[in-house]
Amino acid sequence: MKGNENPVLSRLWAYAIWAVVLFFVINLFAMIATVVVNSLSTRWLGTWLPPGFTTRWYFSAWKEFQLDDVLVVTFQIAAAVAFLSALLGVPAAYALARRDFPGKKLVMLLFLLPLLVPPFTYGIPLATVLYKSGLGGTMWGVIVANLVPTVPFVVLVLIPFIEQIDPRVEAAARVFGAGTVRLFIYVLVPLLTPGILAAVLLVLMRTMAAFELTFLTSGPGSQTLVVSLYYAVSAAGVRAGQSVDAMAVIYMLTTLIWLLIALRFVNPTQIVARAKQTH
Amino acid sequence: MTSQSIPVAGSGRHERVPLRLRLAQRGIDGVTLLVLPAALFILLLFVYPFLYGMNLSVHPKGGAETVGRFANYARFFSDSFLYDTILTTLWLALPVTIINVVMSIPVAMRVRLMRRQRLLTTILVLPVTLGAVLVAEGLLNYLGPQGWLNRTLITFGLVSSPIRLVHNYWGVFIALIIHSFPFTFLLTLSYVTGIDPSLEQAASTLGAGPRARFRHIILPLLLPGLAITFCLSFVQDFAVFPSAVLLGAPAGPTRVISIAAYQAAFEEYDYSMASAIAMIMGFVQLLIVVAVLTSRGLFYRGPAGGGKG
For A29-39, how does the pLDDT look when each residue is reduced to its tens digit (9 = 90+)? 999 999 999 88
Residue A190 burial (CB count, 10 A): 10
Q: Give the pLDDT mean for A147-165.
A: 90
- Chain A CB within 8 Å of residue B277 CB: yes
Domain ranges, ordered by start, for chain A: 7-54, 60-272
Residues of A whose CB is below 8 A from B49: 122, 125-126, 128-129
**Which of A118, A147, A268 lies nearest to residue B235, judging by beta carbons?**
A118
Interface list for B 11-70 with A (CB within 8 A): 26-35, 37-39, 41-43, 45-50, 52-54, 56
Which residue, among A23, A34, A65, A107, would best test binding to B if mutated, counting the most B CBs under 10 Å from its CB? Answer: A34
Please check the confidence at residue A2 and state whether its pLDDT lies above 80.
no
Contact yes or no for B150/B144 (Cβ under 8 A): yes
The three-point CA angle A177-A179-A182 to 5° equals 100
Predicted ipTM?
0.85
Nearest CB to A152: which of B42, B48, B54? B42
Which of A124, A169, A264 to mutate to test binding with chain B, by most B CBs within 10 Å of its CB?
Answer: A124
**Tens of pLDDT, residues A79-99:** 999 999 999 999 999 999 988
**Cβ-defined contact of A31 to B178 (cutoff 8 Å):** yes
Closest CA to B137 of A44, A22, A223, A246: A246
Whether residue B222 lies within 8 A of chain A, CB to CB, comes out as no
Q: Are A131 and B298 in contact (CB under 8 A)?
A: no
Interface check for B293 against chain A (CB to CB < 8 A): the answer is no
Query: B232 and A244: CB-CB below 8 Å?
Result: no
Per-residue pLDDT, B28: 77
A57-71 per-position pLDDT tens digit: 898 888 888 888 999
Phi-psi category of residue A64: left, alpha or beta, with phi > 0 → left and psi -120 to 50 → alpha: alpha
CATH architecture of A60-272: Orthogonal Bundle (1.10)
Partners of A218 in beta bridges: A137
Q: Point out the residue among B122, B132, B148 whose CB comes nearest to the CB of A30.
A: B148
What's the pLDDT band for A236 if we cut at 50, 70, 90? low
pLDDT on residue B3: 46
How much of chain A exceeds pLDDT 90, in percent? Answer: 37
Q: Say whether residue B300 is in contact with chain A using an 8 A CB cutoff.
A: no
Contacts of A101 (CB under 8 A, 6+ apart): B3, B26, B27, B28, B32
Question: Is the separation of the CB atoms in A148 and A126 below 8 Å?
Answer: yes
CB atoms within 10 A of CB B8: 14
pLDDT at B298: 65
**Structural contact between residues A266 and A148, judged by C-beta atoms closer than 8 angstroms:** no
d(CA A22, CA B111): 13
**Chain B residues within 8 A of A241 when measuring between CB atoms:** 141
Contacts of A211 in chain B (CB under 8 A): 131-133, 241-242
Confidence of residue A126 (pLDDT cuts 50, 70, 90): very high
In this complex, which of B133, B274, B285 lies closest to A233 when CB atoms are compared?
A: B133
Per-residue pLDDT of chain B (309 residues; tens, 9 = 90+): 444 445 544 444 555 778 888 888 777 777 888 899 999 999 999 999 999 999 998 888 877 777 778 888 988 998 888 888 999 999 999 999 999 999 999 999 888 888 778 888 888 888 888 888 999 889 988 998 888 888 888 888 888 888 888 889 999 999 999 988 988 998 898 888 888 888 888 888 888 888 888 888 888 888 888 988 899 899 889 988 998 998 888 888 889 999 999 999 888 888 899 999 999 999 999 899 888 888 866 666 666 655 443
Residues 6+ apart with CB under 8 A from B157: none
| Sign of CA pseudo-dihedral B210, A26, A267, A228 | negative
Nearest residue in chain A measured CA to CA from B127: A28
Average pLDDT, chain A: 86
Q: CB distance B130–A209 less than 8 Å?
A: yes
Which of B130, B177, B188, B204 to probe by mutation at the A interface, max A CB count within 10 Å? B130
Q: Phi/psi of residue B3, each to 5°?
A: -75, 100
For residues B100 and A245, give the distance between their C-alpha atoms in angstroms, rounded to a whole number: 28
Question: Distance (Å, rounded) from C-alpha A66 to C-alpha A211?
Answer: 19
Question: Could you tell me if A157 and A273 are in contact, meaning their C-beta atoms sit under 8 angstroms apart?
Answer: no
Contact residues, chain B, for A104 at CB < 8 Å: 27
Q: Return residues 101-160 of B near A (CB < 8 Å).
A: 103, 106-107, 110, 118, 120-142, 146-149, 151
Residue of A nearest to B263 (CA): A124
Q: Where are the beta strands (DSSP E) in chain B?
A: none
> How many Å apart are CA B100 and CA A25, to the nearest integer?
15
Asked if the Cβ–Cβ distance from B29 to A275 is below 8 Å, we say no
> Does the beta-carbon distance from A31 to B210 stay under 8 Å?
no
**CB spacing of A226 vs B142 below 8 angstroms:** no
Residue B65's pLDDT is what? 74
Domains of chain B: 40-296 (1.10.3720.10)
Is A99 close to B45, i.e. CB distance below 8 A? Answer: no
Per-residue pLDDT, A9: 85
B190 interfaces chain A, CB cutoff of 8 Å: yes
pLDDT of residue A278: 39
Are A233 and B136 an interchain contact pair (Cβ–Cβ within 8 Å)? yes
> What is the arithmetic mean of pLDDT over A42-54?
81
How far CA B143 is from CA of A23, B153, B164, in Å, comes to 15, 11, 8
Assess whether pLDDT exceeds 70 at residue A272: no
Mean pLDDT of A205-218: 90
Cβ of B274 within 8 Å of Cβ of A95? The answer is no
Instruction: List Cβ neighbours of B113 (8 Å cut-off, separation of 6 or more).
Output: none
Please check the confidence at residue A266 and state whether its pLDDT lies above 90: no
pLDDT at position B122 is: 85
Interface test with B, best of A38, A135, A272, A277 (most B CBs within 10 A): A272
In whole angstroms, what is the distance from residue A203 CA to residue B7 CA? Answer: 44
Instruction: Please tell me the predicted confidence (pLDDT) of residue B161.
Output: 84
